[in-house]
A and B are shown apart, each in its own frame.
Chain A
Amino acid sequence: MRDCIRFLHRGEIVEVNDFKPTDTVLDYLRLNRGLKGTKEGCAEGDCGACTVALGRVEGERVTYRPINSCILFLGQVDGAELVTVDDLAQDGTLHPVQQALVDFHGSQCGFCTPGFVMSLFTLYHAPDKTADRRIVTDWLAGNLCRCTGYRPIIDAALNSCFDAADDVFSRREAHTRKVLQSLADGRDALIGAESFFAAPATVEGLASLYEKHPDATIVAGATDVGLWVTKQLRELKKIIWLGRVEGLDRIEETTGGLLLGAGATYSVAEPYFSRVDPDLGELFRRIGSRQVRASGTVGGNIANGSPIGDTPPALIALGATLELRKGEAARTVALEDFFIDYGKQDRAQGEFVTGLYVPKLDPNQIFRTYKISKRFDQDISAVMGAFRFTVVEALITDARIAYGGMAATPKRAAGAEGALIGARMDDPSSWAAALKAILEDFTPLSDMRASAEYRREAARALLAKALMEAAGTDDAMTRVTGHRKLESVDAA
């Protein structure tokens, strides 16, 4: 058992054993280390001013991912290289992304700039990418700037991030990899006693620890739990972090489906889902931001039980099943049955989500999913709809339709599903019953994202749109965003 966390920072291995389980990386940097380059803009992972890069060994190389340090618990940097804006300039020479931001007039007030620098740093180091403006805007979706209007920042990115990386980090990559590998010691880590931050190394270790401490809070990316701390000021005495659990971040692709560990982040899962259907790739791309997707997990999105999580409706429409474990006992549940009511899931005390199975589409199945939000990128959906139609010679033989934002849980549209059986793709008049039924399927609420009336109307519109597209209407004529023919902007 290890009683400290260890990470690489400025070429040195840093060991920390004296911290509260909910101390954030941002506060650690600013308050403990006096490193003031990284800024707090919102303390909830939405503005990106606090972005830092975490380097971890993925496959054969060190991959740098952007992270919102304001909602990242300090313990979560265990085993990683931590890079901040303070670390990029070398001997008075700016890093290429810094220099480009200067040259293109990419800063005005400058407060968001350190975060942009770090996001661009991770783009600079991302492999296999083409200089496409859409990649840049996606990469920067989690960095808000109120001054520039983004154009000069995008230009700076296009002009600095797409050549082969050549900086001090790329030059010492082999060494960094060796150091990071040496930090992966396979031992459980537990820092603290009555109040602790635990980072178990195995599923068994996790299961026994959680059984012993069912009052602990399990975090994967902490992209939601972080806000319990920074905004609700909740005292979480015991944190169990999934990030080091061996095998929990696995993704296995079989001919029939995807097997996803609960610890797999959105970023890692995105390309797999993208291959199942382009709409799923776009759905993943629009979840949070690069920073959120690099931390957040599909498992967390489900276990959290939010009625407006973006993955559950799509996964329910696909017929996904969830795997849970408590101590030694494991079980499987259909995803839609996991969500019982608002804030209530089918999860016993001490039980945790280990993984997810997502069936791929059969050749005779057509899938569509849409998200409606006030802003396209990095917003929470007002309404989210997912549709899987099984079609045999133009006859709809099965329909799975699920919505988010329409009820206290992600929920299937039973009435519309039933009304579609027997309808014909080549006869829009046969859709009428379903389009009527969908209005009766839900009793949504009004909130700051949309009114109940809008939600109901939009839910109907999405079903109509899915049917139109499934029947062959080119989505260039039905969508203002997320066209299926465009190449995915996925880049690592």
Chain B
Amino acid sequence: MRHEHPAPHEYSVVNKPTVHDSAVKHVSGTATYIDDIREPAGLLHVVPGWCRDAIRGRIISMDLEAVRNASGVVAVLTASDVPGKNDCSPSLGDDPVFAEGEIQFYGQVVFAVVAKTRDEARRAALLAKIEVEHVTPILTVGDAIDADITVLPDYQFRKGSPETGMAQAGRKLSGSMRIGGQEHFYLEGQVAMALPGEDGDMHVYSSTQHPTEVQHTVAKVLGQPDAAVTIEVRRMGGGFGGKESQANQWAALAAIAARATGAPCKCRLDRDDDMIMTGKRHDFRADWAVGFDDGGQIRAIDMQYFARCGYSADLSLGVVDRTMFHSDNSYYYPDAIINTRRLKTDTVSNTAFRGFGGPQGTLAAERVIEAIAISLGKDPLEIRKANFYREGRNITPYGMTVDEYETLHTIVTQLEASSQYWERREEVRTFNAGSHVLKKGLALTPVKFGIAFTLKHLNQAGALVHVYTDGSIHLNHGGTEMGQGLYQKVAQVVAEEFGVSLDRVRITATHTGKVPNTGPTAASSGSDLNGMAAKRAAEAIKARMVAFAAQEFDIEPELIEFRDNQVILGNEAMDFGALARQAHLNRIQLSEAGFYATPKITWERETASGRPFLYFAYGAACSEVTIDTMTGEMRVDRVDILHDVGHSLNPALDIGQIEGGFVQGMGWLTTEELVWDEKGRLRTHAPSTYKIPTASDVPAAFNVSLFESKGNPEDTIYRSKAVGEPPIMLANSVFSAIVDAVASLKPGVVPPLDAPATPEAILKAVTAMKRMESAAE
């Protein structure tokens, strides 16, 4: 399939590597996060209280007298103090703001202290006496499978005739792997500040990716209409999915406290509380069986994904659906069963995390490929390529056709060359032959990631653009800024449309009063949706200005051009602001609400049919690692990445997303281990025990390039592609390289490596390999 689009160099603002809109403020310490907003007089502080020895059980008694009497305490709130509905769930009504009657997981909020200082509130919160009738909790995937308990019904994709396919396949393999969860570790913890207004109004500053949902939640808990609640957020100190639904509760607490006391209230979580009380990436067990031929081509596959969802549904429907949508990664399955179970456990409810279930889906797919390669004694890259989507083999397990497979092939071919994969494969082989303790591994893995919310109605966005009479432009849209540079990208789009420099476009905080009924900034969709909505708003205003100018100056509209902060009128030119002023004097509307709904999306979950995605984003990564087979320690030696962003809106920001996403994914698969003890208490609830990558974990040889794209074949904003989530899965190459290193110990044996590949996990796999070796001898 051929597609050609305007070359990026024709643009004046879009496609330029401009710095993040807040970069200077970031480095100066003047970028204002919610806890930095000058506090209103009389501000009170809210701290959630919880029961430190309960996992699950009925609340027998609750003695909060000492809490109430503690220094500085103004109010103590429980479920009975919620004026509206005691629920902060994104949809199903199963996440109480305050536990009511029973505690459902370790860290569940039972009450809240409102005090004059945060320190007083924190100290008072420790004084509660809560008696609980303990119930043996269900903690693990295995526990939940045994108990046969889920938060949502099982769901399956079925393609072709998998039973027949499996029966006809010449070779068969099966296995099982565990995939760990991940803590978001946004550097700015959860925070909200609520300011009560007149007539029941509530204005809430919330560090959220989903202001509209926070608005709905606050309205719901206060028993007020949505219109009484306004949510505002200028920026987050990181989100990564952890502030999609998980920001609701803290905004609700601040608002309930503000309503109860009549004072402005702020709720900022302590880091440990944050890590204990908020959901994480789902951990999984993936059981797989594959039938394939002698060439390693897959004939049929059976994937069973068991997701640990925690105590409530939260976003697990969509998350685990996305696991299914990415159970193929880039590989064609002629016949397939993709089955998922959403297991209910008495643990914190797992939630969105960059990739939204997709990474777990792809990691299991890579395990299948590696198993095939190892069993055939072939290089995994050969097997990967043999199974790529291609002409005539391009229908996914969910029925969508993959049209743009050539992009995937080209990326992998180019990366194979630029990373010198085959030369290094020989070097690795030579090294391993001469090295007893240390073993090297190499892997090149692809990424194909579907772009669109699989929940159809979320694929819409609004923007509000005003042109003032001095030519300055006010930009607002429903997307939120969490560091990804969305505000900057959308500002570039608007500046491009009006032909003005970026400094003419004033970026403003996301605000539910300006742009209503928005979806979350998630699913990598921020610039696709909001860029397009803002473009439409700008286009509408521009069209009116052109029509006015054509009439006013008696010139053909085609001869009017907006560029360099000017409006070119044939041989004449005038300042953009001068035209705005004249248009205003002639009663031309210079404000517009733009709206965009993603086209072509037709997915129907009930029938598992239709098209869930507008397009796919592609990339590939090649990683080399060295493991110590005595201790299990591991070092990443080199990483090469080639990633497709279509025509980039901003190459610098896109590179930032790719590098940052890769490293975050690498952390998920290596050093970041969530550990619960046998009682069900999270033991890794601080950066002292939960280890995200640090600077020295990133190899010096870290070569990241943007694929030279002909542009997105779909009509997206300036033919760009979404970039937020896909790079997480580039880190599969690190995990696969570790598998490759362990596999070198014993040809023909698939290393039983689980994620994350901590030193202990690697040593366990090494030890298992050695045992298999001795068993064979």
Contacts and interface: CB of A to CB of B under 8 A. Distances in A.
A329 interface: no
Q: Which of B185, B187, B482 has the most CB of A within 10 A?
A: B187
Interface in A88-132: 88-89, 94, 98-99, 101-103, 105-114, 117
A149 B698 contact: yes
Interface residues of B, number: 90
A117 B27 contact: yes
A112 B698 contact: no
A109 B763 contact: no
28 contacts: A38-B29, A94-B27, A103-B19, A106-B27, A108-B660, A109-B235, A109-B238, A110-B483, A111-B237, A111-B238, A137-B696, A140-B695, A147-B656, A149-B656, A149-B661, A372-B633, A372-B759, A376-B635, A377-B694, A382-B759, A448-B675, A454-B632, A454-B759, A454-B760, A465-B631, A478-B438, A479-B628, A480-B635
Nearest to B36: A36
Given A114-B29, A375-B671, A447-B683, A152 B656 contact: yes
Nearest to B704: A151
B483 A147 contact: yes
A89 B28 CA distance: 7
Contact of B691 (A101, A107, A374, A480): A374
A340 B651 CA distance: 59
A477 B436 contact: yes
Contact of A110 (B237, B655, B661): B237
B483 A41 contact: no
A111 to B, nearest CB: 3
Contacts, number: 258
A380 interface: yes
B692 A146 contact: yes
A257 B648 CA distance: 61
B314 interface: no
Given A85-B29, A146-B186, A480-B627, 5 more contacts: A98-B28, A109-B236, A110-B26, A111-B187, A454-B760
B631 A41 contact: no
A304 to B, nearest CB: 15
A136 B485 contact: no
A461 B633 CA distance: 12
Interface string B172-204: 000000000000111111000000000000000
Contacts of B671: 374-375
A193 interface: no
B438 A109 contact: no
A37 interface: yes
Contacts of A44: 271, 686-688
Contacts of A103: 19
Interface in B635-670: 635, 652-653, 655-656, 659-664
Contacts of B236: 109
Contacts of A108: 20, 483-485, 656, 660
Contacts of A88: 28
B494 to A, nearest CB: 21
A42 interface: yes
B697 interface: yes
Interface in B270-316: 270-272
Contact of B271 (A38, A42, A150, A468): A42
The list of the 5 closest CB pairs from A to B, nearest first, reads A37-B29, A109-B483, A111-B237, A110-B26, A149-B663
B414 to A, nearest CB: 21
B659 A152 contact: yes
Contact of B33 (A111, A138, A145): A111
A110 B482 CA distance: 9
A47 B187 contact: yes
Interface of B: 17, 19-20, 22-33, 35-36, 38, 122-123, 126, 184-189, 235-240, 270-272, 435-438, 482-485, 626-628, 630-635, 652-653, 655-656, 659-664, 671, 673, 675, 677, 683-684, 686-689, 691-698, 700, 702, 704, 758-760, 763-764, 767
A412 B236 CA distance: 49
Contacts of B272: 231
A86 interface: yes
Nearest to A36: B36
A374 B687 CA distance: 12
A94 to B, nearest CB: 6
A457 interface: yes
A419 B661 CA distance: 50
Contact of B187 (A37, A106, A146, A379): A146
A141 interface: yes
Nearest to A42: B271
Contacts of B33: 39, 111
Contacts of A109: 186-188, 235-239, 482-483
A105 B652 contact: yes
Given A37-B28, A89-B28, A233-B122, A374 B695 contact: no
Nearest to B698: A150
A110 B630 contact: no
Contacts of B24: 94, 98, 102
A154 B663 CA distance: 14
Given A38-B29, A94-B24, A478-B437, A465 B673 contact: no
A141 to B, nearest CB: 5
A376 B696 contact: yes
Interface of A: 34, 36-44, 46-47, 49, 84-86, 88-89, 94, 98-99, 101-103, 105-114, 117, 133-134, 136-138, 140-141, 143-154, 231, 233, 370, 372-380, 382, 447-451, 454, 457-458, 461-462, 464-465, 468, 477-481
Given A42-B271, A85-B29, A462-B631, A375 B693 contact: yes
B686 A101 contact: no
A380 B696 contact: no
B19 A41 contact: no
A39 B695 contact: no
Contacts of A147: 238, 483, 656, 660
Contacts of A101: 23, 26-27
Contacts of A46: 686-688
A458 B758 CA distance: 13
Nearest to A376: B696
A461 B653 contact: no
A104 to B, nearest CB: 9
A462 B671 CA distance: 20
Nearest to B123: A233
Contact of A454 (B25, B185, B763): B763
Given A109-B482, A375-B697, A477-B438, A98 B27 contact: yes
A39 B700 CA distance: 29
A94 B702 CA distance: 29
Contacts of B188: 39, 41, 109, 111
A88 B663 CA distance: 30
Contacts of A465: 437, 630-631
Q: Which of B20, B36, B186, B271 has the most CB of A within 10 A?
A: B271
B634 A94 contact: no
Contacts of A136: 695
A458 B29 contact: no
Nearest to A152: B656
B651 to A, nearest CB: 10
Contacts of A138: 696
A395 B454 CA distance: 69
B691 A113 contact: no
A263 to B, nearest CB: 24
A150 B27 contact: no
Given A42-B687, A105-B19, A479-B628, A151 B27 contact: no
B19 A102 contact: yes
Contacts of B633: 372, 480-481
A111 B691 CA distance: 18
A141 B763 contact: no
Given A146-B187, A233-B122, A457 B692 contact: no
B100 to A, nearest CB: 27
A414 B671 CA distance: 33
